[in-house]
Structure 1
Amino acid sequence: MARGNASNGGKGAVAYVGTRLPTLSETFVHRELRGLRGRGRRIVPVSVRAPQGPFGDPELDELAKEAVLVYSRATAVALPRAMAAMPGQFARAARDALAVDLSGAKARAKFLTQAYMGLTAGWRLRDAGIGHVHAHLANTPATVALYLARAVGATFSFTGHANDLFVHREALAFKLREAAFVSSISRWHQGFYDAIVPGGDRPVIRCSVTVPPSAEEGRDIVSVGRLVAKKGFDLLIRAFARIDAPGMRLRIAGDGPERQALVALAEAEGVADKVDFLGAQPHAAALALIRSGAIFALPCRTSSTGDRDGIPVVLMEAMAAGKPVIAGRLETIAELVEDETSGLLVPPDDVDALATALRRMIDDPPARRAMGLAGRDHVRKEFSDDINWDRLEAAIDAARKGDL
């Protein structure tokens, strides 16, 4: 386990590590960071690679400027001095690279590079008073965070999500053993981690959302997400084409590698004039789109590469806004959406079932409203900001207390 030392004292600062911090597609990271800052925590943002702004949001643009870049010229220049100052840590990292749960020389070399960059970034931050390091994503950010924590004598934790666990997994068993705690976004994730390395502190800490003060009535079917296979937008377009919904549009916000194929599919299905592809949107605009809808649909599935969602934050945001949701029946999503109560769950890849669910929602406004209210109540009780920021702070404080 990455250990701290008493010289950090008290709570210390928390270094927050992300792949690109901030980024529009991972709102949960910078929202959590800002939430902890709002509670008086000192947060040091650390971005593995340079953020891709500008973001059209002054707070995000400022965060991007503030973030310490790991893969940067400053780190490369500091590497020789860091190695001279911490030869034992670099030697230990080299031993780790030979022993961790990875296959092939290329993967081990990549891991070692990440470890060296993390150690050097830590050396650069040696006077920042960091007491804990937390990473979002269990692959590269968690590797960097682990060695940054070792360099500054801090405790280490991470939050795993989806692609980083199912497709681009990197030395997960090693990190599970090294972490002071692992933030589990679902009970399913707890079981997943336990099957790899039994035991350990893995509290359920949700990627949380703000519950707005009121819910609005909308009229369209809306969806938000990266345009990739696991989100099921092709299923949604095909299902939309099968229903008769005069005056209702399908509005999709997001961008990604499947955009051209999805536009072509809408044309082929004869609904191009009823489907709006809005592209990537700032978070505030995405929330406004959700509020404008009558139904929120995200028919998630497991892609051919094995990639799948954890619990999509956008589903929580839709439910927080009082919207009835239709989603793919995945184990993790079933922890958020109670079928027939707060929304409808459909079998993945089943266009007929999805079309039937859309038709039901459209034809029964009272049921829509009841599901929307039930979902909003569930999110408030289990997925809201204050509840989960309390859980995260408690986990960080417990890790630090056990280490001092």
Structure 2
Amino acid sequence: MKTKTLSQRRKILVVLKGYPRLSETFIAQELRGLEKAGFNLTLISMRRPTDKKRHPVHDEIRARVVYLPEYLHEEPIRVLKGLMASFRKPGIKALWKRFFKDLARDLSRNRFRRLGQAMVLAREWPDNGEWLHAHFIHTPASVTEYTSILTGVPWTCSAHAKDIWTSPDWELHEKLGSARWTVTCTRSGYEHMRTLTPRKEAVHLSYHGLDLARFGHFGGKRSQRDGSDPADPAFILSVGRAVEKKGYDTLLKALSLLPGDLNWRFEHIGGGDNLSKLKVLAADLNLADRITWKGALAQEDVLDHYRRADVFALACRIASNGDRDGLPNVLVEASSQRVPCISTSVSGVPELLVDGENGMVVPPDDPAAFAVALEEMIRHPALRSRLGNAAEKRVREHFDHEASIDQLGRLFADEWQKAS
């Protein structure tokens, strides 16, 4: 196979913001898929892990992980060696020119940190890397691009959500012009980036999809709960970090608007900086005794919750700083298990969920509309069954991650064939 033959001729250094991360299973899934397709990877992480748990896929990834200095002052000798070695690299003049151009538009410590990390990477150059690939087009792509300029090694990029929408247009323009190609996982992100570069042919849409081997068909019976039995309340589930863009305050307010005769319980899986505030809000809304905050869980535990839930809810929104989800992987996961989902018309969500056909989609930041959808789902088990079955069908027909891996393989192979 041409793709596999070419893949064996390139060692790819994959630059990540942090590794491993529970909230980025889509990246781990892609890394494992590329390895299975024959690609030779070394992972370059800008941060050390903070999660206490790991997903099974992390243990299956064979690639070595190299950690860059997270903060330059923590490893001054390593950074100094990188700086000194950079003066012997072919692209040092071009790098300083680009750096000062960027610095004039973004005078920040972060900009110096990315330069220092790039110099460390260029000096240490793990495993004789022959290609650079960044996950996220903000800070990981800055390190990757600076390294590429310094060493002359080509680079490519996978852009996702926050990194697109919180990056200034000038920076996206520069990176899209420098990378050999860039992929992104939602049509809204794809169309936005194409407006920022004349190289429109170098921007590609590639849905992450789901590893369906890990999320096999669930043939068990779904409950017939309709919210009428206090002893057997409907089970509403959400999985996601407690951060602004996930809209959990909207979801809690929606729960508080549900009729008093409707019996339900809500479970949240995930960490996040806003958890304590959400718990206070839940108490203020008199919801605390109906909510369980489970924290971060491993993938197999999350799968078990999908299979027991009646409704999956995620009230995505555009955050005050422009941050937003792309297509939340948890919606794809829940749909694969026949759980009917309620979410909002933000970013890539409507690319998965069609309101009334395989889920419910409401406007963002609208607790009343979300509450109406929740009540409709809870009171009508037959509706849940119809939407859940349609959701699973759509995922298995259109969101198999093997298609994304094949597309990435072809993109890499085409570039490498040009260089041969």
**TM-score when scaled to structure 2?**
0.86
Name the counterpart of 1:177. 177
**Within 2, Cα distance between the matches of 1:243 and 1:318?**
23
Per-residue deviation, residues 339-369 of structure 1 (Å, max 9, x unmatched): 1111111011111110110111112222211
**Whole-Å separation in 2 of the counterparts to 1:291 and 1:159:** 31
* 2:326 counterpart residue number: 310
Aligned residues of 1:101 and 1:172 also touching (Cα < 8 A): no
1:205 counterpart letter in structure 2: S
- Three-state SS of the structure 2 residue aligned to 1:306 is coil
Aligned residue in 2 for 1:252 = 268
Of stretches 24-33 and 284-293 in structure 1, the one that deviates more from structure 2 is: 284-293
1:4 corresponds in structure 2 to: none
Q: Is the 8 A contact 1:93 1:115 kept in 2?
A: no
Partner Cα separation in structure 2 for residue 266 and residue 352 of structure 1: 17
- 1:89 — aligned with what? 91
What's the counterpart of residue 392 of structure 2?
376
Q: In 2, distance between residues paired with 1:93 and 1:260? A: 43
Question: For residue 217 of structure 2, what is the amino acid of its counterpart?
Answer: S
Residue pairs, 1:355-374, within 5 angstroms: 355-374=371-390
Counterpart selection for 2:240 from 211, 216, 225: 225
Moved more, 221-230 or 260-269: 260-269
SS in 1 for 2:17: strand
Cα distance in 2 for residues equivalent to 1:349 and 1:59: 34
1-side partners of 2:242 and 2:309: how far apart? 19
How well do the aligned residues superpose, as a CA RMSD in angstroms?
2.6
Aligned pairs, number? 393
Q: Secondary structure at the match of 1:11?
A: coil
Equivalent residue of 2:204, what SS?
A: coil
Please state if 1:242 is matched with 2:257: yes
Unaligned runs of 5+ in 2: 1-5, 224-233
Q: How does 1:104-123 map to 2 (within 5 A)?
A: 104=106, 106-107=107-108, 110-123=110-123
> 2:133 is matched with which residue?
134
- If the length of structure 1 is used for normalisation, what is the TM-score? 0.89
Contact residue 156 and residue 179 of structure 1 kept, 8 A: yes
State the shift of 1:83 in Å: 1.7
Distance 1:95 1:401 in 2: 31
Q: Is the 8 A contact 2:41 2:63 kept in 1?
A: no
The one-letter code of the counterpart of 1:89 is G
Q: Does 1:146 align with 2:129?
A: no
Cα 1:42–1:351, aligned 2, differ >3 Å: closer, same or farther?
same
* Structure 2 CA distance for aligned equivalents of residues 354 and 282 of structure 1: 28
Per-residue Cα deviation, 1:260-318 (whole angstroms, up to 9, x for no partner)? 22111211222211111111222332232222211111011112222211111111111
Q: Deviations over 1:35-59 (max 9, x none)?
A: 2112222110110122225435576
CA contact (8 A) 1:20 1:48 kept: yes
**CA pair 9-55 structure 1, distance change in 2 beyond 3 A:** closer
Q: Mapping of 1:4-403 within 5 angstroms?
A: 11-56=9-54, 60=58, 66-71=64-69, 73=75, 75-76=78-79, 78-86=81-89, 88-100=90-102, 103-104=105-106, 106-107=107-108, 110-125=110-125, 128-150=127-149, 153-169=152-168, 171-198=171-198, 199-211=200-212, 212-215=215-218, 216=220, 217=222, 219-244=234-259, 246-403=262-419
- TM-superposed CA distance for 1:238, in Å, is 1.5
Deviations 1:122-173 (A, max 9, x none): 33126x2433222111111011122334455433111222222223558221
Contact 2:94 2:150 in 1 (8 A): no
Unaligned runs of 5+ in 1: 1-7
Q: In structure 2, what residue type is equivalent to 1:220?
A: F
Q: Distance in 2 between matches of 1:15 and 1:150?
A: 15
After superposition, the Cα gap between the structure-2 partners of 1:264 and 1:375, relative to the gap in structure 1 and judged at 3 Å, is same
**294-303 or 74-83, larger mean C-alpha shift:** 74-83
